[in-house]
Chain A
Amino acid sequence: MNEFLYGVLPYIALTIFAGGTIMRYTIYERNWTTKSSEFLSKRDLKWANPLFHIGLLMAFGGHCVGILVPKFMTEAAGTDEHMYHLMSLAGGLPAAVLFLGGFLWLCQRRFAGNDRMQVNTSGMDKLLYLVLLLTIVSGTIGTVSNIPGGFDYRETISPWFRSVLMLQPEVGLMENVPLVFQIHMLSWMMTAMLFPFTRLVHCLSFPFEYLFRSHIIYRKK
């Protein structure tokens, strides 16, 4: 079972993630959009949306550090396990509050607010929000339950993830990981598989180039 979950599924997920995204961009760019609902209802968007996105960016940054930077490097930089744990909590807990709080606020707006929001909520969206909820909640519970620091993901999950990226998955690392973290693994893989087929793709088109281009654009037909 673990062999499949941590040795095969990540590759299926990442393949769908990358392949699906490329396919959508090349073949179906016409429906590549943020799917903004501001036109239908501005209510609550002013605070809920920025909070959600700030929380998301903080969580994303924290994950990058926690997963991609190996333990020996932070230790070489003079940060011991205790210090590191405190630092990750200092960033992770506020991130979780903003991310989950923003998410719930946005869901309330979407599902219990203006009726018009229905036309902006497809079946795929509902599935996505379910999976996202699972991902955010499992991540939050994992962080909170691990405040005392019993479980060091940087000796299990992080090296496993890097081994996946190196195409030599070390499934054994994941054997004694607590259930909530296992759920978190499963849910991010589901999110990755849904990614190309949902509004999530808009994160890839953050318009940095806008800062550098001229105001008026002329183009030949």
Chain B
Amino acid sequence: MKIKAQISMVMNLDKCIGCHTCSITCKNVWTNRPGAEYMYFNNVETKPGIGYPKQWENQEKWKGGWELKGGKLQLRSGNKLERLAKLFYHPDQPEMDDYYEPWTYDYETLITSKRKNHQPIARPRSLITQKPMEIKWGPNWEDDLAAGESARQDHNFKNIAEDITLEFHDLFMKYLPRTCNHCLNPACVAACPSGAIYKREEDGVVLVSQDGCRGWRHCIPACPYKKVYFNWKTNKAEKCIFCFPRLENGLPTICADTCVGRLRYIGVLLYDMDKVKDAASTPDKGEIYHSMLDILQDPHDPEVIKAAKDAGIPDNWLKAAQASPVYKMVKEWQVALPLHAEYRTLPMVWYVPPLSPITRRAEADVYLPDVKDMRIPLSYIAELFAAGNVAVVENVLQRLLDMRMVMRAKETGEELPRRLEYDLETYEAMYRLMGIAKYKDRFNIPAGLQEQAEDKLRELQGSCGYNCPGGC
């Protein structure tokens, strides 16, 4: 057993209102620079839809993530030699138009225009060529199903047996906020020819070294979530950094901190590094989720604690792992699922799938419907969060419903549901964490390597100050 710590996030989709505050704060902090205008480290998609970049979920097209070849785990884009041959031209690399061409408006003309019969207008101008352009697509073109037809082209409909026509009477939608998943088995890291992308030893954050990156751009098609971007100005790859400067100081990422719906949770998970490869190689893709749960270790188990200490995980990290809201939702209550586990990257951002109103077909007088009667088809949610395994999604949604029924029964004195999976205290705790969702409860982030830092400070005692490294 080799224990490692991972900073991980849960998003409770039941509460996402699609306001894009996360995307905007992230953009303002990290990607409002020339070369990065088109990048959204965090974006919110309306599902069904083709997403950003277009059709990112279609891995027959992009060849992202891993696949099992003869039972062995291999990058979908080929073995190492095949991949080196693609250095000169990568057939699966997205182009700018797969995202969108960033633009601004000629606001100047509003001020400098001469007197005319008609009001002057600020025409859109490309931020790449600086020439006037016609806006045909944007990062959020499909917001609230606005793009119409493109929703039907959602790749997830491909594998669903039942017919989803998206006619008006059975229309449904949900929001899907997406960031880098900081995977345990990241395809971008494996694909980088220069070895510039790495997982941070202490918290598992996946980063691109801006010094080491040579612009071979293999990470971009390799990431099945298309969350590594090519900066056209610096000609290097960039991606979500999980706001590591904030994490190191015990603060949540900016997307999580500013989330209006308070639906993001951040905490520590402990996992067994030795089992990562086996979990990613689980033959049945519908079972990858369970393999992922298996490699997550119980932070209260004395054996795990000992192994973690042997692996050099600091005490404050262990404490955080024991109080981790993410561990509770992912492993204890099993209400959070990985996005597209079938890509086999073992993503570490988890989603509580959304409940939705009952369809017309169901009885009208029920307070809480059966999970099967919900407006968002189970099979669709299962494509997103359980690699098609409907049973997994059904169980999770049932737990969420049970929680509601228990809490309702408490107020109204109604009878409790006959079969409950957990005891009442557990449902109460679930309610507190997911319903009340206090800031302090949502985030439990140990400040980075505090203990070592304190030792450093002690070493500096008696020297003449901190103004130069190591004292003067």
Contact = CB atoms under 8 A, between A and B. Distances in A.
Interface of A: 29-36, 38-42, 45-46, 49-50, 53, 115-116, 118-120, 202, 205-207, 209-211, 213, 215-221
B88 A50 contact: yes
Contacts of B407: none
Interface in B76-104: 80-81, 83-84, 87-91, 93-96
Interface string B111-134: 000000000000000001101000
Contacts of B325: none
A206 B199 CA distance: 23
Contact of A205 (B80, B93, B214, B217): B214
A27 to B, nearest CB: 11
Q: Chain B: interface secondary structure?
A: loop
A120 B90 CA distance: 18
Nearest to B86: A50
A39 B201 contact: no
B109 interface: no
B214 A39 contact: no
B193 A210 contact: yes
B195 interface: yes
A207 B192 CA distance: 9
B198 A217 contact: yes
A39 B35 CA distance: 11
Contact of A40 (B84, B193, B198, B232): B232
Contacts of B83: 210
A30 B210 contact: yes
A33 B201 contact: no
A116 B129 contact: yes
Nearest to A213: B195
A38 B89 contact: yes
A46 B195 contact: no
B88 to A, nearest CB: 5
A121 to B, nearest CB: 12
A46 B128 CA distance: 23
28 contacts: A29-B212, A33-B215, A33-B234, A34-B214, A35-B235, A36-B230, A36-B235, A38-B93, A39-B95, A39-B220, A40-B128, A53-B88, A115-B129, A115-B131, A118-B129, A119-B233, A202-B215, A210-B83, A210-B84, A210-B194, A210-B195, A216-B186, A216-B189, A217-B198, A218-B200, A220-B201, A220-B202, A221-B201
Interface of B: 80-81, 83-84, 87-91, 93-96, 128-129, 131, 185-186, 189-190, 192-195, 197-202, 210-217, 220, 230, 232-236, 276, 448
Contacts of B199: 216-219
A217 B189 contact: yes
B84 A211 contact: yes
A207 B193 contact: yes
Given A36-B235, A116-B96, A119-B128, A217 B217 contact: no
B241 to A, nearest CB: 12
A36 B95 contact: no
B194 A207 contact: yes
Question: B96, B233, B448: which has the most chain A beta carbons within 10 Å?
Answer: B96
A20 B114 CA distance: 52
Contacts of A30: 210-211, 234
A35 B231 CA distance: 10
B89 A39 contact: no
Given A33-B214, A211-B81, A217-B198, 9 more contacts: A36-B230, A39-B94, A39-B232, A41-B95, A42-B95, A53-B88, A202-B214, A206-B87, A221-B448
